[in-house]
Structure 1
């Protein structure tokens, strides 16, 4: 899954995608029932500056109760004076790529975290909403697993200049308990 685009070309493509989404109009918070408490309104420009750059990622994903490990990589750009962050995730081993788009709502002081799978090319609704508190970023969104309502939580933590971690967990009991299903350890290239 080698990209033929140069870094400036990739950046231009990612910026164009973000501009298209921004032009679509304002985003709403959607359902507020995702977490037992609403996310802290602490979002500010520059919260995702730590993520800009080139990364190698060690993934562990749980599928059907079994943990699988695989490598990945990402390129991340901050734009709009720190109010947006665009991530291109690539997992060559799985012939997979996608784009994370994080946008700050400055009035609500919350970040919307959107995902676009390269196979579909469309935003996966709804976005997760969240912010950072004391160096840990938490994003929740409501979803469904068949007929069961679930909460999907993404967390950024262990942030240093050279590394960080993102993990995902799911709750099937309205946030009383959580089961991790994806861990990503990021190392700066």
Structure 2
């Protein structure tokens, strides 16, 4: 239940996001963000808000720990759409968190994978990748590098 305790507090976030998905693109956009994460439900979850000043948008993450199944559900919402996206679900093992879920892109079903790694007291790395072939291959499309403010 303490897996995400490292994230509580304030962060500077360096973002690298693929410009076009599922097109074999190697064009990435880079932009900054600031993030604040706080615990909820007496430590049974947390909420994180990230601000992308240069994009004029914000994101909200809700993470909840399922006590019975011993796994996390991670939900994402964007100020650009006002939607809460389907969760990715998973666990941490050996200092790495892997979370998988079903989503859609341009109306077509995809698989989503979030990876938390390189976690220290002052830094962390998050990566998102999508699959259009039911998880046989994955395309990395967003990497966030966190550094403690």
TM-score (norm: length of structure 2): 0.90
**Greater share of helix residues, 1 or 2?**
1
Q: Which residue of structure 1 lines up, in the alignment, with residue 36 of structure 2?
A: 75
Q: Which residue of structure 2 lines up, in the alignment, with residue 84 of structure 1?
A: 45
Q: Which residue of structure 1 lines up, in the alignment, with residue 102 of structure 2?
A: 142
The answer (yes or no) to whether the contact 1:150–1:172 under 8 Å persists in 2 is yes
| SS class of match (1:81) | helix
Q: Which residue of structure 1 lines up, in the alignment, with residue 19 of structure 2?
A: 63
Q: Distance in 2 between matches of 1:92 and 1:147?
A: 29
Q: Does 1:97 align with 2:58?
A: yes
Q: Distance in 1 between matches of 2:29 and 2:4?
A: 28
1:63 deviates by 1.4
Superposition misfits of 4+ residues, deviation over 6 angstroms: none
Q: Does 1:173 align with 2:133?
A: yes
Structure 1 spans left out of the alignment, 5+ residues: 1-44
**Greater share of strand residues, 1 or 2?**
2
Q: Does 1:131 align with 2:131?
A: no
Q: Distance in 2 between matches of 1:157 and 1:104?
A: 18
Q: Which residue of structure 1 lines up, in the alignment, with residue 117 of structure 2?
A: 157
Q: Which residue of structure 2 lines up, in the alignment, with residue 187 of structure 1?
A: 147
| 1:52-86 Cα deviation digits (max 9, x unpaired) | 01000010000122100000010000232321111
TM-score (norm: length of structure 1): 0.72
Q: How many residues align?
A: 144
Q: Distance in 2 between matches of 1:170 and 1:57?
A: 21
1:146 deviates by 3.4
| 1:100-159 Cα deviation digits (max 9, x unpaired) | 0001110111111011223444422x2111111111111111122335421111110000
